[in-house]
Amino acid sequence: MSDGLGGQGGRGGRGGRVAAIDLGATSGRVIVGRVGPGILETETVARFPNDPVRTIDGLHWNILGLYGAASAGLAEAFRRYDDIGSIGIDSWAVDYGLLRRGQLLGVPFHYRDDRNEAGVRAVHRRMPHTDLYARNGLQFLPFNTIYQLAAEAAGPLLEVSDTMLLVPDLLAYWLTGEARFERTNASTTGLIDVRTGEVSPELVALTGADAGILPTLISPGESFGTLLGDVRGALGAPAHVQVTAVGSHDTASAVFAVPMDPARAAYISCGTWGLVGLELNDPVTTEAAREANFTNEGGVGGTVRFLHNVMGLWLLSESIRHWEREGERIDLPTLLQAAGELRDEVAVFDADDPAFLAPGEMPDRIAEHCRAHGLPVPRTRVEFARSIIESLADTFARSVRTAAQLADRTVEVVHIVGGGSLNTLLCQRTADHLGLPVLAGPVEATAIGNLLVQARAQHLIEGNAAELRDLVATVHPPTRYEPRG
């Protein structure tokens, strides 16, 4: 059964198929899309967890497990359909694997690992953040790749490695044997000059690495190459299947699928993180933008994602994990319904506080934050849930206003895509805090953006970004939330 229908179903009819590997911070999916003029169908053929692994040296991604699960999903996709012409891969940003002569050295660190403080100090000793922001345009996040690589320099692997690949590029390498550096994800590393869009050897040198460690840049829509023979046999794939570069940073793919007019709209790509911002043609690297901690990242088609990272639904999901570890089963729809019916005042706290970054004990950290800031401390799970929703909505609203002011834009409507678009309480309260309409959906914006870039590269569809967004709006009409008084 298809998740979204925009034309005829089945193997026949118009259109062709492409497959998306969409890796989120907590789960992954393999989604097959049938795309053509007026057609946008998606079918999820595999879902799998993405659970980090803590070892003696820190928190890591189970990258081999993810590759195995994604490969099993692709095999199922090829078992069902013999007309898949392309595969595209997207994931979270900043994390990487180091290789020597094609062999992975060690296990990629998780961005929530606590090793990065030393890297931050090392980079800022060599270039203060004011100068760094003028060069790479990135908001300060302690896990940006530039800081992770500087922390890596304290160990043995960076010195002996000859290639660094971000997570989606690493999977593409294992599928094709071709090492590339996809531009939208590369733009999140801090190693790219924000004005030229090219690797800056000076920025790479701040980490202690050599710029030669980075492979050739590749843009969304270009091909990594065809599947290796052994891979093709293991997947049961035909010989012609391409691995196509997409917006491999999941937010880049998600923004490409937002059914918006970027001249009058802001977006919130809401899942584990809440990415709040505007689509621009040029970066904004003013001192005011740096002080507001806004970032300039690459978008599909050479656009700029001018945005601010907010902690997102991580606050709620990590709280639920904490409660369930205590032995209580939490039904999220029931919890959110009760939170929406709550009439008591709850704390509106700073959802941007770095204290909420690490995993574990989230309700305790929220309570401690409220006590330290003179806010009422939530007493029940329902109060915690409502306080989280109110705090996210408040932070989203402030971030939209700040983005509009910094970019000298007028925002008339805000689009929420991703998992957060299903959270009716969050969508309504965001509209209320903003005083603007909120349009919610599609949920699978990341996968849809991934599929659309591939489909256009495969000549299954034509059109510019506006025309492809019109297709998304037709197939996935957004739900409208009007602000209440």
Same structural domain, 48 and 171 = yes
Same structural domain, 217 and 353 = no
Same structural domain, 392 and 284 = yes
Say if pTM beats, i.e. exceeds, 0.85: yes
Residue 170: inside a domain, yes or no? yes
The catalytically annotated residue of 90, 95, 113, 250 is: 250
Same structural domain, 181 and 323 = no
Decide which of 216, 244, 272 is a domain's last residue. 244
- The amino acid that residue 40 corresponds to is L
**How far apart are the C-alpha atoms of 167 and 171, rounded to whole Å?**
7
250 is catalytic: yes
Decide which of 441, 463, 479 is a domain's last residue. 441
Residue 479: inside a domain, yes or no? no
- Output the domain CATH number for residue 222: 3.30.420.40
Same structural domain, 223 and 267 = no
Decide which of 410, 425, 441 is a domain's last residue. 441
Residue 9: inside a domain, yes or no? no
Residue 460: inside a domain, yes or no? no
Same structural domain, 36 and 80 = yes
Same structural domain, 238 and 272 = no
Same structural domain, 223 and 318 = no
Same structural domain, 186 and 315 = no
Residue 2: inside a domain, yes or no? no
Residue 45: inside a domain, yes or no? yes
- Tally of structural domains, the chain: 2
Residue 110: inside a domain, yes or no? yes
- pLDDT number for residue 420: 95
Q: What is the 3-state secondary structure (H, E, C) of the chain?
A: CCCECCCCCCCCCCCEEEEEEEECCCEEEEEEEEEECCEEEEEEEEEEECCCEEECCEEECCHHHHHHHHHHHHHHHHHHCCCEEEEEEEECCCCEEEEECCEEECCCECCCCHHHHHHHHHHHHHCCHHHHHHHHCCCCCCCCHHHHHHHHCCCCHHHHCCEEEEHHHHHHHHHHCCCCEEHHHHCCCCCECCCCCCECHHHHHCCCCCHHHCCCEECCCCEEEECCHHHHHHHCCCCCCEEECCCCEHHHHHHHCCCCCCCCEEEEEECCCEEEEEEECCCCCCHHHHHCCCEEEECHHHCEEEEEEECCCHHHHHHHHHHHHCCCCCCHHHHHHHHHHCCCCCCCCCCCCHHHCCCCCHHHHHHHHHHHCCCCCCCCHHHHHHHHHHHHHHHHHHHHHHHHHHHCCCCCEEEEECHHHHCHHHHHHHHHHHCCCEEECCCCHHHHHHHHHHHHHCCCCCCCHHHHHHHHHHHCCCEEECCCC
Which structural domain range is residue 32 located in? 16-244
Q: What is the pLDDT along the chain (485 residues), one digit of tens a residue?
A: 333 333 333 333 478 999 999 999 889 999 999 999 999 999 999 999 999 999 999 999 999 999 999 999 999 999 999 999 999 999 999 999 999 999 999 999 999 998 999 999 999 999 999 999 999 999 999 999 999 999 999 899 999 999 999 999 999 999 999 999 999 999 999 999 999 999 999 999 999 999 999 999 999 999 999 999 999 999 999 999 999 999 999 999 999 999 999 999 999 999 989 999 999 999 999 999 999 999 999 999 999 999 999 989 999 999 999 999 998 899 999 999 999 999 999 999 999 898 998 888 999 999 999 999 999 999 999 999 999 999 999 999 999 999 999 999 999 999 999 999 999 999 999 999 999 999 999 999 999 999 999 999 999 999 999 999 999 999 999 999 999 97
Same structural domain, 98 and 185 = yes
Residue 209: inside a domain, yes or no? yes
